[in-house]
Amino acid sequence: MRTPHHRRHIMPPRRRIVLFSPYPPNIGGGSVIVKSLIPQLEAFNISWLYTGLRDQQFSGATWIGPGLGGGSALLDLSRTALLWSRMETPRLDHLAQELMSRPADVLMRRGARVHLTVQDDVPDDIFGRSNRYRLLVPLARPTYQQTLKQARSVDVISEGMRRYYASHLSLQSVVVHRFISSCRRQRRPRPAPTKSRSVTLEICTVRKNGAPSLPLSASTHNGAGWRPG
């Protein structure tokens, strides 16, 4: 009589994600959000590719060359105008080749879904507030809106931004914040005079290596919707 073999538990292969950001991992609030989320996504194999002025030697991310902007004011404006007018340039072709030579090539052949993460509204927020890029707003807005609508899914950083895109672009998105280990909610009356009844405070304890560190508090906007510019 044969002894039955024990069934081996075979772990399913981790799903692959190619994350591209046009900025280094150590710059900006967007990087803070992404870096807090990646360790929580253990079921995924994430390859982070980025562009920047130079290689930041950041562990867990790969520099694939300079970005599509930058340089002197005149050079930067010309590059930005070409980018948002959807003109193919040698610089853009080089970036595309770098992306396709990485694991992204496998995903492209398989018809991967493209998810878009938005930390800032480019035409009406970044460009609209800039003296340098303000004249490019009418050029950038159609390309930006078309890109949002072509993505399979979109996430934004605030409820106000989600509502704005839903009402102005009929775009469905989700709100994604930085990962914090634990939070407790408190509702406190807001000092008069105000149009809002109360404000929600999230009192969060950030843990490092399993040990609690200083508490972190963050308050929401008092019901005001996000507006570009």
| Domain of residue 164, CATH code | 3.40.50
In a domain, 227, yes or no: no
Domain count, the chain: 2
Task: Indicate if 143 and 162 belong to the same structural domain.
Answer: yes
In a domain, 125, yes or no: yes
Task: Indicate if 137 and 45 belong to the same structural domain.
Answer: yes
Among 142, 157, 175, the domain boundary falls at 175
Task: Indicate if 167 and 210 belong to the same structural domain.
Answer: no
Task: Indicate if 124 and 209 belong to the same structural domain.
Answer: no
Task: Indicate if 86 and 133 belong to the same structural domain.
Answer: yes
Task: Indicate if 186 and 136 belong to the same structural domain.
Answer: no
The C-alpha angle with vertex 191 and arms to 188 and 192, in degrees rounded to 5, equals 135
Task: Indicate if 160 and 51 belong to the same structural domain.
Answer: yes
Q: Which domain holds residue 197?
A: 182-219
Q: What is the DSSP code string of the chain?
A: -PPPPPPP-PPPPPEEEEEEESS-TTSHHHHHHHHHHGGG-TTEEEEEEE--SS----TTEEE-S--SS-SSHHHHHHHHHHHHTT---HHHHHHHHHHHTTTHHHHHHTT---EEE-SS-IIIIIITT-TTTGGGHHHHHHHHHHHHHHSSEEEES-HHHHHHHHHHH----EE-----SEEEEEEEEPPSS-SSSEEEEEEEEEEETTEEEEEEEEE--SSPPP---
Residues 57-82: tens digit of each pLDDT:
888 899 998 888 888 899 999 999 99
Task: Indicate if 103 and 162 belong to the same structural domain.
Answer: yes
Task: Indicate if 105 and 206 belong to the same structural domain.
Answer: no
Closest Cα to residue 155, out of 177, 140, 183?
177
In a domain, 2, yes or no: no
Residues 190-229: tens digit of each pLDDT:
555 544 443 333 344 444 343 333 333 333 333 344 556 5
Task: Indicate if 89 and 50 belong to the same structural domain.
Answer: yes
In a domain, 226, yes or no: no
- Report how far apart, in Å, the C-alpha atoms of 105 and of each of 17, 74, 92, 140 are: 12, 34, 16, 28
In a domain, 61, yes or no: yes
Reading the chain (229 residues) residue by residue, the pLDDT tens digits are 555 555 555 666 677 888 899 889 988 888 889 899 999 888 888 889 999 888 998 888 999 988 888 888 999 999 999 999 988 888 888 888 887 776 655 565 666 678 999 989 999 999 999 999 999 999 999 999 999 998 999 999 999 999 999 999 999 999 998 888 765 555 555 555 544 443 333 344 444 343 333 333 333 333 344 556 5
With beta carbons less than 8 A apart as the criterion, state whether 115 and 154 touch: yes
Preceding omega of 215 cis (within 30 degrees of 0): no
Rounded to whole angstroms, the Cα distance separating 223 from 229 reads 18
Task: Indicate if 192 and 140 belong to the same structural domain.
Answer: no
In a domain, 7, yes or no: no
Task: Indicate if 165 and 203 belong to the same structural domain.
Answer: no
